[in-house]
Amino acid sequence: MVIDNNPTKLLLDPGAFCSCVGKSLLKTCIPNFEEKLLPIDDIKFNSESNPMKALGIFETNVILTHIDGNPRITVELVVMENCSSTHFILLNDYLIIYGIDLHKNKDRYFTIGDNKRQKFAFLPFKRKITVDKVSPVNLELEKFKSEQLKEAEISLHLTDKQENELSSLLYGHKGAFTQTNNL
């Protein structure tokens, strides 16, 4: 995953009590994160019977890296003073909220939302991800795809890149589509 233009490790943990990150790990990605910390109630946290000290809640956008697309999600992480994990830990709620499905077969991949045809593979962490590969999200295009193309029967033989190019082409000619709310 990428956070604030810094590639880092993410652990998708359906059994976690909360999404969290250690202070030292977060500081390597966002040195001034303390300025943006939100207060947290006096809740007791433990890890394998060791008490953990919560500093606050940090809200941020993260990018789940993939060769043909980079899904972005907003998360709230509890920042722990004494967490020694080398990963950002994301709990099951975000998997449900964003419709992320984890599949385990020969290759590990995940899907997001109702489109089960578009599969995102987990990239090995060793792979360098340059910021220029992270393209900005075209919100209007995404809205067009979710509203106008949601029932389109697009061939399964297309690659993700071809499907994205087709969606962009159709979006460029969106005026040719009938607006159902004007009928």
Give the residues of the chain that fall short of pLDDT 70: 48-49, 66-69, 95, 99-111, 113-114, 116, 120-137, 178-183
Domain range for 166 is 138-182
Are 94 and 157 in a shared domain?
no
Q: Residue 121 domain-assigned?
A: no
| Per-residue pLDDT at 145 | 81
| Per-residue pLDDT at 49 | 63
Are 21 and 108 in a shared domain?
yes
Are 85 and 26 in a shared domain?
yes
Q: Residue 90 domain-assigned?
A: yes
The span from the CA of 116 to the CA of 172, in Å, is: 25
Q: Residue 130 domain-assigned?
A: no
Q: Residue 27 domain-assigned?
A: yes
| Per-residue pLDDT at 183 | 44
Are 59 and 100 in a shared domain?
yes
Are 80 and 6 in a shared domain?
yes
| Per-residue pLDDT at 32 | 92
| Per-residue pLDDT at 171 | 86
Q: Residue 164 domain-assigned?
A: yes
Q: Residue 176 domain-assigned?
A: yes
Are 100 and 10 in a shared domain?
yes
Domain end call among 96, 112, 128: 112
Query: What's the structural domain count of the chain?
Result: 2
The CA-to-CA distance between both ends of the chain, in Å, stands at 43
Are 93 and 168 in a shared domain?
no
| Per-residue pLDDT at 12 | 78
Q: Residue 82 domain-assigned?
A: yes
0.85 exceeded by pTM: no
